[in-house]
Structure 1
Amino acid sequence: MIKVYLGLALWYLLLSLITLGVYWWDKRAAIHGNWRVPERTLHMLALLGGWPGAWLGQYWLRHKTRKASFRIIFWLTVLLNLTLPVLLWWARWE
């Protein structure tokens, strides 16, 4: 079970770094008026495990912090991600 949690932690770290980079790219594009990353892509990255990087991107870069509908969906992806380790832990006892 430790290997599962370690693998999950490494997955979250990798996806978080990628997601933070995508947020940086999108913020830069917004500033310069270039092609933007679709919101659904940002949400998918967060859902796949990159939500810590997305949160840091929002906080550090002040990016995607004003649109309420975006923030609601983002926090739903966080909630879904936080339930995964709990479900894995619970399945261990079944």
Structure 2
Amino acid sequence: MSIVIGYFIIISMVGFTLMGIDKKRAQKGQWRVPEIRFWTIGILGGGIGLYMGMKTYHHKTKHKTFIIGMPVVILINLLCYGYAVYLLK
């Protein structure tokens, strides 16, 4: 079970960091992180980290796909984590 929790923490940190990097690059007019990368990290379990990054960095907060989609991804993540924890008991 600790592997599941560790994975959750690491992938969430990756998502949070990626959101911050993209915000900084947007401000500097540099190359941006493709949106598909955010969604991939989210589907792989980093939805909470991405959402926290959105709120912390005020980034992607006007995009309807992120405003609506990220909470849906988080719900899917939580269901998957819950199922994984249940299986590992």
Please give the range of the TM-score, normalised by the shorter of the 2 chains: 0.7 to 0.9
Q: Which residue of 1 aligns with 2:33?
A: 37
Residue 54 of structure 2 aligns with which residue?
58
Tell me what 1:14 maps to: 10
Question: Which ranges in structure 1 are unaligned for 5 or more consecutive residues?
Answer: none
What are the within-5 Å matches in structure 2 for residues 54-93 of structure 1? Answer: 54-88=50-84, 89=86
Unpaired segments ≥5 residues, structure 2? none
TM-score between the two structures when normalised by the length of structure 2: 0.85
Is the radius of gyration larger for structure 1 or structure 2? 1
Moved over 3 A (4+): none
Residue number in structure 2 paired with 1:47: 43
Higher relative contact order (CA 8 A, sep 6+): 2
Superposed CA RMSD in Å reads 1.8
Q: Is the 8 A contact 1:24 1:57 kept in 2?
A: yes
The count of corresponding residues between Structure 1 and Structure 2 is 88
Letter in 2 for 1:36: R
- TM-superposed CA distance for 1:55, in Å, is 1.6
Select 1:27's aligned residue among 18, 23, 30: 23
Cα deviation, residue 78, structure 1: 0.8
Q: Following the alignment from structure 2 to structure 1, what is the Cα–Cα distance between the partners of residues 67 and 34?
A: 14
Give the percent of matched residue pairs that are identical in Structure 1 and Structure 2.
26
Deviation at 1:22, TM superposition (A): 0.8
SS state at 2:31 partner: coil
